[in-house]
């Protein structure tokens, strides 16, 4: 049975890294990074809400086709809106796929420091753009609010599996991710 994996978590929690590790180990699995889809849209930065909603709809359509073709899909995305999580879960049912809702959480302060450090290093364009979005949404206080909103979402999703992330322990988190599929 194919898997539809939602990797949720605050910025800097390791979503993209774990998603890439998964697709590297699973032939033809799709790392469906919605932020990358969003960047394909013209002037997306000036239309943040509309581009985000459109990118999510496009991602759902892409995931549907990929699951129907018999391949796993991983969606690494911070999601603090129940509606989108429910849409992803409904898609899994529609496509007869296993749905795995995984939340990557680390210590709040460590997570915030990781995002700040990552944006200062700005090794890839996605990190530069992520920092720009953080700045537009209130900087560090905005990040703290994002983290807190995610905790509220988790409280309403009792079947979501939480994986603790710690700096420098990606292999451990990846092992936990793989073990979570056994339950």
Using DSSP bridges, classify how beta strands 3-8 and 98-105 pair: parallel, antiparallel or unpaired: parallel
HEC-encoded secondary structure of 1-29: CCEEEEEECCCCCCHHHHHHHHHHHCCCC
HEC-encoded secondary structure of 50-114: HHHHHHHHHHHHHHHHHHHCCCCEEEECCCCCHHHHHHHHHHHHHCCCEEEEEEEECCHHHHHHH
Domain count, the chain: 1
Structure tokens of 100?
Answer: 């795995």
Q: Is residue 111 predicted with pLDDT exceeding 80?
A: no
* Residue 120 confidence (pLDDT): 64
CA distance 164 to 141: 22
30: three-class secondary structure by DSSP: strand
Q: For residue 15, give the CATH number of its domain.
A: 3.40.50.300
* Residue 163 confidence (pLDDT): 97
* Residue 12 confidence (pLDDT): 81
* Residue 144 confidence (pLDDT): 82
Q: Is residue 104 predicted with pLDDT exceeding 80?
A: yes
CA distance 27 to 25: 7
* Residue 55 confidence (pLDDT): 97
Q: Is residue 29 predicted with pLDDT exceeding 80?
A: yes
Q: Picking from 31-40, 70-79, 162-171, which range would have the lowest pLDDT averaged per residue?
A: 162-171
CA 89 to chain centre: 14
Q: Picking from 13-27, 31-45, 122-136, which range would have the lowest pLDDT averaged per residue?
A: 122-136
pTM of the model: 0.89
* Residue 110 confidence (pLDDT): 77
102 lies in which domain range? 3-180
Q: Is residue 49 predicted with pLDDT exceeding 70?
A: yes
Q: Is residue 115 predicted with pLDDT exceeding 80?
A: no
* Residue 146 confidence (pLDDT): 85
């Amino acid at each position: 049975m194919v898997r539809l994996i939602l990797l949720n978590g605050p910025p800097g929690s390791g979503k993209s890294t774990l998603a890439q590790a998964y697709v590297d180990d699973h032939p033809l699995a799709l790392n469906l990074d919605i932020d990358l889809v969003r960047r394909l849209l013209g002037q997306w930065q000036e239309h943040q809400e509309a581009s985000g909603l459109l990118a999510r709809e496009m991602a759902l359509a892409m995931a549907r086709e990929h699951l129907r073709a018999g391949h796993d899909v991983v969606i690494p995305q911070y999601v603090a809106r129940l509606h989108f999580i429910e849409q992803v879960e409904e898609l899994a049912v529609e496509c007869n796929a296993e749905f795995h809702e995984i939340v990557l959480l680390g210590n709040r302060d460590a997570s915030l420091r990781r995002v700040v450090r990552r944006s200062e290093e700005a090794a890839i364009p996605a990190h530069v753009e992520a920092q720009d979005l953080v700045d537009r949404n209130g900087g560090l206080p905005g990040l703290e609010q994002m983290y807190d909103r995610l905790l509220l979402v988790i409280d309403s999703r009792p079947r979501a599996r939480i994986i603790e992330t710690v700096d420098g322990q990606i292999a451990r988190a990846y092992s936990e991710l793989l073990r979570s599929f056994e339950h």
